[in-house]
Structure 1
Amino acid sequence: MEDYKSYSQAIRMLRVSLVDQLENGIDFLLELLSSREVLNRDDREVVLGLPGPRAKVRKLLDIVECKGEEAARTFISIINQQQQKTHNLIPTEDSADQPQSKVCSKIMQKHKEVLSRRSESMLYYNTRHGEKIPFSEHYVNLLLVSGHQGLERKRHEVLTFGLKRLSMQQESTKHGQITPAKLFSSVAGSRPVKKVLVTGVAGIGKTMLVQKMLLDFGNNKDHLAFDFIIHLTFRDLNLITKPINLKELVLRKNRHLAKELDQILANDNKLLIILDGFDEFRHYRSCDIDAFVTEPDEDGEVAEVVASLMLGELLPNASVLLTSRPAAIGYIPVDCIDRFVLIAGFSMKEVQDFFQRYFQDHAFAKNMFEVVAANELMLTLCYIPAFCYIMCCILKESQDLAGESPKTMTDIYVQYLVALLRSHTQDRAKSSLNDQKEGASPQMSDVVLKLGQLAFLKLMDHQTLFYGSDQDVACLVGYGLVSTFLDKTVAQEPGCTEDIYSFTHLTVQEFFAAVYCAMTDHPLPDALQHKTSPGEETCKGHLDLFYRFLSGVLSERNANLLSRHIGLRCSREKVETYQKRIIGELRDQCGSGAQILNNLHCLFEQQDPSLAQAFELEGLRVNVSDEALSSMDYNAIKYFLNLTEGNISELDLTGTNINCEALKDLQPHLLRCERLWLGENNLDMNTVHVLADVLQLSECMTHLGIGWTDVSDEEMLVLSSAMRMSHMLQELWMEGNRVSYRGLFSLKDLIPSPLSKVVAIWNDLNDEDVEALTVSEGGSFVLRFTDDVVWEEWGRWVLARCEVSSNEKLVTVLCKVCNISIHCLEILWAKGFYKRLRQLIKNRIAQCTEDDMRRKLEKFENVLSS
């Protein structure tokens, strides 16, 4: 019994084996248990009333386990006595350390050989038919970061991840770097790690990580403490349309395990099940289930089997590794996850390593990396392994095509398209050139448009997997170029096979969709702004990159490149229509202060300085708030601001994670700002010194917001010195910080001139401090909720932000604005503000599909209702 903490646990862990071994003698066993008073008459009748011997055994096990440890001990004693002639069902001290049977060891070795053979070749981007690339030649280690790294899912996941990736690379020790062999290792004193979720953006290497683990396990190179690993992909699971059980799922691709499968599943504490690609699962939104599958041979819908595994209802002692893109993790029951791991992709050293492996020539690889390193955009995106491959492909095949280094995302992908068409269709292109003096054959452009149509239609439906039986896919079969841009896998079902396709990378699908819209008569999308509900983070930003590609394809330089090399042409009328639309959108947003970031990227993709002539506004307002800005974002913002002249009426950088380097880079434009909002960023002393320089040099800044930036007295003294020298700032909003009487007193001589208002609610002040800081004759410290006019304006601003925020951002704001004393709720402005805020929360709760987020929102609803 030393293998188990209790007799009840032994019954739970051996449940599968017990069902198999007791089904033929269940009636006799019931008699024995009744005679020993383990079961009463009612218990016996309940068991006998069930159909089939296996169902009877399962019910018996449930009853015995519920009766406690003594009943379980008697039960084990009885069945061991009955089975003594063969072997004990429950290991004793004498049998616990016995080696595994020769048959089981042979099956283990056979299984490892199968996994090694399946994983030895890399299923690589654009691999030609029949071509095998040894995994060891191209695999580069990935940075795995342990901990729940929440991503703002309201933006395109590849774009969102950029800044977070760089910060994690610099702070990998802080976040907890982890190796694949340690994924299931628990920290001393903590609970065992059984369920691990590995997330990462498209192309970051989730499936490559799984393949690496399988290969190492098969070659006995890892240290994972498992006897068996079962690998299931959601691409295969998508083909199952009828109820199925776990045993059938395993045997579909592992028939060699048939004889020993019951024993393998019975010993589930030595079993790892890998579920790869949850975001590709057709039913990933349906895994919040009420009906569980509890036995390996119990049939259920495939979503029920998967959810039961994740929740531990099925094989409760097995370890499960689940991989998914961030877009789908909101549908995973995260309460069951013991460890969250984020794949952060390549570091710069690993990018260099990848270049060396790809080009196989040290000097040439070094030169190519230097080309990429000189382009900030290209270097920033190379942390994604799939994109790193794209860059290598362009550098290898297309150095003579563009004439200059790419400046935008679209530039890169246009060159990628041309390079691959040239590489994979060289013979066909040559024969076509014998008959035509112009660039490419009609078939080439026709296939590109057909691929674009497929990409566009599926993108609009949030689909990244396409099946051979789909009519949109069937029309492409037979074209040799299809394999250049679509990955194909074959899933086998009893009696049939199904071809499954996907673009080599999510961004490639978005690019082809943009090419289709630009180069055909298909009308442009109705609007550049998305109409999704603010609370639906998984949808918001879904088309960000598509719109940027569309803008770039409709630019003159890329349109010419596609026309020259592929024979694709877009009408001048469509280009002009698009440019008028983007300028109109930007003009409206700059006038109203609406969110502007993605349209700034669209303008950046155009790379047409002449468009700046259309920006003639009385007040230029640039709002890029509530976005974690990456270096690409700052490039787009600077490009736009460089095109404009005169003062900037308002620049809103609230909640953008801006740091010292970014603020210093923007300094020439900050000097043009009349109102600058930097709230909800962590402003350290170095950043405050940059801001102080701006205050000192600016001749137009009148309003500054630094609320909830964690500044204290020391930072405030630096800022007050700068304000004293410039005498320009009129209003300072600094609510929610750590400033005490000492820091605020340094501003007192600046009130009422030039400072007419200092809003410092929620700082480190007591009642005596508030009284001592009272200022008369004009200007004022706003330290309490007493000025209805001031706070009504503040309330309107907060509500406007909340209405367009994601649920995740809304909770962050609620944590701040719900910090209000009860007596303040009697003030007229507060009553109206919190009433409207409570209604907004109710609306979000009604729309929310994520359990964890719904609970957080309900918590704040209860606070405001009490």
Structure 2
Amino acid sequence: MEDTQTSTDQEFSPGCSSVYQKRPEPESRCVSVGSDTSMHHLVTFKSGDIKTNLSYRSEGESSCVSMRSDASVPLDYMGEETETDLRHEVLDRFRSNLLKKFERLYEGTATQRNPTLLNEIYTELYITESESGEISNEHEVRQIETQSRRAATEDTAIKCSDIFRPLPGQDKAIRTVLTKGVAGIGKTVSVQKLILDWAEGKENQDVQLIFPLPFREINLMKDKTLSLSDLLHVFLPETKEIKISSDEYKVLFIFDGLDECRLSLDFKSKVKLCNISESASVDELLMNLIVGNLLPSALIWITSRPAAADLVPSECVHRVTEVRGFTEPQKEEYFRKRISDQSLADRIISHLKSSRSLYIMCHIPVFCWISAAVLEKMLSRAESGEIPKTLTQMYTHFLILQTNIKHEKEYEKKLTDEDMILKLGKVAFEQLVKGNLIFYEEDLRECGIDVREASVYSGLCTQIFREELGLYQGKVFCFVHLSIQEHLAALYVHILFKNDKYRNLLEPITKQSKLKDWFQLNSSEHVSLSELHQRAVDEALQSKNGHLDLFLRFLLGLSVESHQILLQQIMTLKRSSSDRNEKTVEYIKKKIRTIDSPEKSINLFHCLNELGDHSLVEEIQQYLNSRRIKEAKLSSSQWSAVAFVLLTSEEELNEFRLDKFVKKKNEPENMKVLQKLLPVIKESRSVQLSYCSITDEGCAALASALRSNPSHLRELDLSWNKIGKSVNLLFGVLQNPHCKLEKLWLRDCGITDEGCSALASALRSNPSHLRQLGLSLNEIGDLGVKYLCAGLEDPRCKLEILWLNDCGLTDEGCAALASALRSNPLHLRELSMTGNKLGKSVNLLSDVLQHSHCNLEILLLSYCSIPDEGCTALASALRSNSSHLRELDLYGNKLGDSGVKRLCAGLKYPHCKLEILWLNNCGVTDEGCAALALTLTSNPSHLRELDLSGNKLGKSGVKLLSDLKDDPLYKLERFYYCRYIIIKIF
């Protein structure tokens, strides 16, 4: 629920600095890269009517001015002309103040004297439209690691300037937008950029007023009762001179950091406020504003981390967008902007690319900042230490960098670095165990931290409080990013172990964090390093949402010998570095072999990477490179290693085929392989699992995996697996509004009419994405087709290909299908009904072909018991000027010469666009050949391919068609007249 690494108010940065301070003189107030609660460009509607006269300050001027207006004469007492001029003056001053407030970006301490202009370093972020309610319980770093697999072209990118503008094809008014994204992904910097672009007159100029109201600041007023106008006056004093309640202005409210909200936000409350002068609690004010009771024409933009995104009911949100961080090109762009020395920037980018785990993390802008800060120092001069290649190394160097920054300043030294880091680590661990990412002064005091001392370590902790108005005071703390909190928490536990401080530091904190219970320790117990690690591994594996995954990686990584040497720069570690990690490595490998969760196995491989053990991965990499993996009999842990290698490779996971990894299809062992590779399947766009002996259990596991990431998969083939009723679980995935599956092939899967009912329900719930559906060789019968038709006739259904071969259909099922296609004929392009006893009901399908909106191009009706008179209806469809039919398959229907002659009545018409005609095994003789030859010679036919194999054709019949090769109207390219002989005419 906290966007901890970020800060919503704009002076917050990766630093422990006050965003609000007493204002004897104006102070700059900006957002840091560490700050994050989401935004991007601006709401580009169209140019507005308001002309602004922005005053740009000189270089020496302060970057922020007091928000108090100097104008003291109410507008009501002015003449009309004076009132208009004054109104423009107030609006101009309002813009100018926002410009100065948001034009600079602080990276590092907020008190540095040379902050960066946002426009100089700002790098566009990748934002897409998402769905309300799509919330992941995974650790945010795990979400980043999986999202990094997806191509940036997968979804339509949305600029922040367009977040209130519907996408092409959408017809909806957008008033309230919720933008979600993990901590540090760039939400707050995006907010800053939108406001800056607006203030500079670049974007969204039909919006006259923007009110940024970060939740961190609003929290400090949660016990107050006041009106909306009073609330605005507190945050933005100039609003006292602006008639906000009138319809004169289009306004945008930005509520940054919903995950940090400490208000109740009870949307079921019956308190209804319609006037901005009505007083109520702050949470009631916000609730009424969001639902539209207050200022219903106002635009609302809310940002949040994913875990808190559902605090606002979906019915109150008109669009959900997601900030997904940097794409691959944007990563490089950031470093080239951030590092002035381009050769150094190239070296940094090259180094990060050499470590896949680091480069994946660079999707998070704040991690790019951390990496740039560390690597710029290390690569720009000769360094004796190892250049960071793991997360633990990077964060430890970052910690050392921040303590060095402190030493460069003149602070009264009351604490050693070790004592201060230990205290920060203590609060980090305690709050991590509690699940808190934001904490207060009392939390620091309980850990022996003085606020003034903490501010010295300004790169590690962010402090925001409001006191310049003399009305509200409060201090809120968070670490620059969740990962920094996790690193400090791990460092705290590690230091306790190394320095034997369990006895004197364990007892005072057990009331809060229960560290003793957490590690099952007692104050007299001496545990080995491997025991400490094993207990931490067990604790992390018990977490349902993986919230201790990164903590575990850091804890294990800190025990590597090179880290002991590194840490000696800032602290004394009493235990020798002779502690070995072999037992820890073996314990982790044992867990990889035995645990059922593929995702947790992946994290354990990351842990092995932090420990410097790559044995399993290197072994698997050799198998993959040599293409011998199908012949290898891999163990359970080796298959987990396969998943890890595939997920951390640079190649995109476009298609997953199980037959690339297993030697034989339909083997029971295939299910074990499938279970281990589920994380790979979740990140693949196409999954091919035909003939894989998928059982009910496997289908359930597959459905569960797809539910956790439904928006990525585009094609799924489960043909020839007897999954029966368990397929209903997959249809449940289809109902998910985030599911974008386009191709689903389920041939011979044991699906019954009951399964069709579940499928129809899915099509009605989410009908717009599925384009291809294959249900051949399933005994669904007429009842199943009727169920299916309930979904097909939905006008939102855009199915283009439908295969129903050998499904036990009769006239009744064909009639239902024809009725559904008449209701929704626009989209279907291909229909296969082979092997069903349709008989004369083919006339109903022929009627559909003549529908003015029917776009069917391929109709496959082999072995459908169609009589010769059925060809009359088909001929009628062929000669219709509405017909789009290009391919007609009548294989195996006893049409005889009579049926062929009837069909020729349609072929000879100029409107007929048929290009492929299959009449094999139809009882045709030379008489039928003669009719076809006459039709082809007398009309400019489009026919390119004709199959008459399997018929009783004599030499005369074949000759009639073969002799047409010199006819200028003859366009036939392929003529099949027996099973093995093809005459090609070019």
Q: TM-score range by the shorter chain?
A: 0.5 to 0.7
User: In the alignment, is the contact (CA less than 8 A) between 1:147 and 1:176 conserved in 2?
Assistant: no
**How far is 1:486 from its partner?**
1.6
Find the residue that maps to 1:488 and give its secondary structure. Answer: strand
- CA shift digits 1:650-684 (9 cap, x unpaired): 85899999875786999789999783226984898
The match for 2:593 is 590
> Is residue 342 from structure 1 mapped to residue 314 from structure 2 by the alignment?
no
Distance 1:459 1:195 in 2: 32
Shift of the 655–342 alpha-carbon distance from structure 1 to 2, 3 Å rule, reads: farther
Q: Which residue of 2 aligns with 1:548?
A: 553
| Aligned-partner SS, 1:417 | helix
Residue segments in structure 2 that go unaligned for 5+ positions in a row: 1-74, 497-501, 507-514, 520-534, 707-712, 731-743, 752-773, 783-805, 808-986
Deviations 1:2-61 (A, max 9, x none): xxxxxxxxxxxxxxxxxxxxxxxxxxxxxxxxxxxxxxxxxxxxxxxxxxxxxxxxxxxx
1:516 CA displacement: 0.8
Q: What amino acid is aligned across from residue 541 of structure 1 in structure 2? A: G
Pick the aligned partner of 2:358 from 374, 378, 386: 378
Range that drifts further, 549-558 or 395-404: 395-404
Q: CA offsets per residue over residues 223-260 of structure 1, 9 Å max, x none?
A: 34211111101111111122232112111121122022
- Secondary structure, aligned partner of 2:494: helix
- How big is the alpha-carbon RMSD for the aligned residues of Structure 1 and Structure 2? 5.0
State percent identity of aligned pairs. Answer: 21
Amino acid at match of 1:121: R
Partner residue in 2 for 1:416? 398
- Matched residue, 2:673: 676
Partner of 1:566: 570
TM-score by length of 1: 0.59
Residue 320 of structure 1: aligned partner:
300
The one-character-per-residue Cα deviations of 1:492-550 (angstroms, maximum 9, x if unpaired) are 3534533333211121111111111111235574354788999xx9x822222222222
Query: Take 2:112 and 2:450, find their aligned partners in 1: how far apart are those partners?
Result: 17
> Given residue 145 of structure 2, which amino acid in structure 1 is its aligned partner?
G
- Cα 1:712–1:368, aligned 2, differ >3 Å: closer, same or farther? closer
1:491/1:664 CA distance change after superposition, 3 Å:
farther
- State the distance in 1 between where 2:309 and 2:140 align: 12
Structure 1 residues 743 and 335: CA distance shift in structure 2, 3 A: closer
TM-score, with length taken from structure 2: 0.53
Distance 1:711 1:185, change over 3 A: closer
- The alignment status of 1:354 with 2:295, answered yes or no, reads no
Q: Give runs of aligned pairs for residues 815-834 of structure 1, distance below 5 A.
A: none
Supply the AA of the counterpart residue of 2:672. R
SS in structure 2 at match of 1:478 = helix
Separation of aligned partners in 1, 2:485 and 2:683: 39
Residues of 2 paired with 1:132 and 1:410: CA distance?
A: 28
The gaps in structure 1 that reach 5 residues or longer are 1-85, 88-94, 433-440, 613-630, 720-729, 745-761, 771-782, 785-866
C-alpha contact 1:156 1:544 (8 A) present in aligned 2: yes
Match of 2:214 among 222, 233, 238: 233
Question: Contact (CA 8 Å) 2:601, 2:640: kept in 1 or not?
Answer: no
Question: Structure 2 vs 1, CA of residues 216 and 427 (structure 1 numbering), >3 Å: closer, same or farther?
Answer: closer
Aligned partner of 2:450: which letter? Answer: L
TM superposition shift of 1:416: 1.7
Distance 1:191 1:443, change over 3 A: same
Give the SS at the match of 2:116: coil
d(CA) in 2 for partners of 1:424 and 1:339? 44
Residues 1:220 and 2:201 are matched in the alignment:
yes
How has the CA–CA distance of structure 1 residues 200 and 592 changed in structure 2, closer, same or farther, with 3 Å as cutoff? closer
SS of the aligned residue for 1:328 comes to helix
| Contact kept? 1:157, 1:201, Cα under 8 Å | yes
Which of 249, 265, 275 aligns to 2:245? It is 265
Q: 2:611 matched to which residue of 1? A: 607
Q: Does 1:738 align with 2:745?
A: yes
Cα offset for 1:602?
A: 5.9
Residue 153 of structure 1, aligned match among 136, 142, 145: 136
Assess if the C-alpha contact under 8 Å between 2:220 and 2:472 holds in 1.
no
Distance 1:602 1:162 in 2: 11
8 Å contact from structure 1 (residues 649, 674) kept in 2: no
Against the structure 1 CA distance between its residues 533 and 402, is the aligned structure 2 distance closer, same or farther, given a 3 Å change threshold?
A: closer
Change (3 A) 1:296 1:420: same
Query: What are the Cα deviations for residues 56-95 of structure 1, in whole angstroms up to 9, with x where unaligned?
Result: xxxxxxxxxxxxxxxxxxxxxxxxxxxxxx99xxxxxxx9
Change (3 A) 1:711 1:332: closer
> Residues 168 and 242 (structure 1 numbering): CA distance in 2 closer, same or farther, change over 3 Å?
farther
Q: Structure 1, residues 627-669: CA drift from partner, whole Å, max 9, x if none?
A: xxxx99x99x99xxx9xx9742585899999875786999789
Instruction: Return the index of the structure with the highest Cα Rg.
Output: 2
Indicate which of 452, 471, 480 corresponds to 1:478. 452
1:773-820 CA-partner distances (Å, limit 9, x unpaired): xxxxxxxxxx99xxxxxxxxxxxxxxxxxxxxxxxxxxxxxxxxxxxx
Question: Equivalent residues in 2 for 1:576-655 (5 A)?
Answer: 584=587, 587=590, 590-591=593-594, 593=596, 596-597=600-601, 600-601=604-605, 603-609=607-613, 647-649=634-636
How far the C-alpha of 1:732 sits from its partner, in A, is 13
Other-structure match for 1:817: none
3-state DSSP class of the match of 1:452? helix
Quote the residue 2:481 is aligned against.
505
Structure 2 distance, partners of 1:243, 1:533, is: 45
Tell me what 2:407 maps to: 425
Which of 191, 203, 225 is the equivalent residue of 1:210?
Answer: 191
Query: 1:375-425 CA distances to partner (integer Å, 9 max, x unpaired)?
Result: 222221112111101111111123455744434321221122223323442
In structure 2, the CA distance between the partners of 1:267 and 1:568, relative to structure 1 (3 Å rule), is: farther
Q: CA-to-partner distance for each residue in 1:110-145, whole Å, 9 max, x for gaps?
A: 211111111122133334444432222221111221
How far has the Cα of 1:584 moved from its partner?
5.0
Q: Which residue of 2 aligns with 1:466?
A: 439
Of Structure 1 and Structure 2, which has the larger fraction of its residues in helix?
A: 1
- 8 A Cα contact 1:145 1:342, kept in partner: yes
SS at 1:342 equivalent: strand
Letter in 2 for 1:218: A
Mapped contact 1:196–1:337 kept (Cα < 8 A): yes
One-letter amino acid matched to 1:509: Q
Q: Distance in 2 between matches of 1:567 and 1:351?
A: 34
Q: In 1, distance between residues paired with 2:393 and 2:463? A: 27
| TM-fit CA distance, 1:705 | 5.3
For the pair 1:455 / 2:428, whether they are aligned, the reply is: yes
CA–CA distance in 1 between the matches of 2:717 and 2:424? 59
Return the match for 1:293 from 273, 295, 298. Answer: 273
Aligned to 2:177: 196
The residue type paired with residue 438 of structure 2 is L
- Write the distance in 1 (CA, Å) between the matches of 2:476 and 2:236: 20
**Residues 331 and 529 of structure 1, relative CA distance in 2, 3 Å threshold:** farther
Q: Does 1:107 align with 2:82?
A: no
Q: Please list, as runs of the form range in 1=range in 2, the aligned pairs for 1:68-87 lying within 5 A after superposition.
A: none
1:275/1:283 CA distance change after superposition, 3 Å: same
Kept in 1, the 8 Å contact 2:654–2:684? The answer is no
Q: Which amino acid aligns with 1:209?
A: S
Residue pair 2:688, 2:717 contacting (<8 A) in 1 also:
no
With over 3 angstroms needed to count, the CA separation of the structure-2 counterparts of 1:354 and 1:670, relative to structure 1, is farther
Counterpart contact for 2:687–2:715, Cα < 8 Å: no
Q: Relative to 1, partners in 2 of residues 1:318 and 1:407: Cα closer, same or farther, differing over 3 Å?
A: same
Q: Which amino acid aligns with 1:313?
A: N
